Amino acid sequence: MTAEARGTTRPWVRRLVWAVAAAVVALVLAWGGAALAQTGGGPSGPTLEVFVIQATRTDAASSIDPQLRDLPTRQQPFDRYNVYKLVDHQRFALGEGKPVAYALVNGRTLDVSLGGVTRSDAGEARYQLATQILQRGKDAFLRGLQVTASANQPFYVGGQSFQGGTLFVELVVRP
């Protein structure tokens, strides 16, 4: 009985089969990655991360939602409160000329537009954002705030009453 008939093969045949299989997998991954990039499915620009925070003042002990890692609770206006709860968290693609509209939990709408991207002297990206908070049929709560934000550095808008506390919206641009 031959080696092939017994179900065993020579080591070089097994290595050849594995090499061909690895080459096929590499081709499929390369082709799939190129197709993903062409359809816009991959990371192609900055994203806007939105955290909606409810801050309240109670007689009970202080508490901070664990998902709110770097909230500046010792700075104004956050120092007026002792309980901080994450109400919502969303991410949006951020592109020039493509405004982001986000429905807040209090019925208002946060609008954010990317006006452009510049570079600091150190080469770091700086994002020019226009933000406003609107409510249908009423004057804007926040009109036309222009912000130049560094990547990964949060900034806050807020001060809206909500369920016995105040809403703050943390905005972070991720490159």
24 and 80 both lie in a single domain? no
28 and 97 both lie in a single domain? no
- Cβ contact 147:129 at 8 Å: yes
Percent residues over pLDDT 90 in the chain: 50
Place of tokens 């890692």: 69
Instruction: Choose between 36 and 8: higher pLDDT.
Output: 8
34 and 59 both lie in a single domain? no
- Cβ contact 141:107 at 8 Å: no
**pTM of the shown model:** 0.70
Which residue range(s) make up the domain with 26?
A: 3-38
Strand partners, 2: none
30 and 55 both lie in a single domain? no
89 and 128 both lie in a single domain? yes
Q: How many domains does the chain have?
A: 2
The predicted-structure confidence for 72-98, as pLDDT tens digits, reads as follows 988 988 999 999 999 999 999 999 989
89 and 169 both lie in a single domain? yes
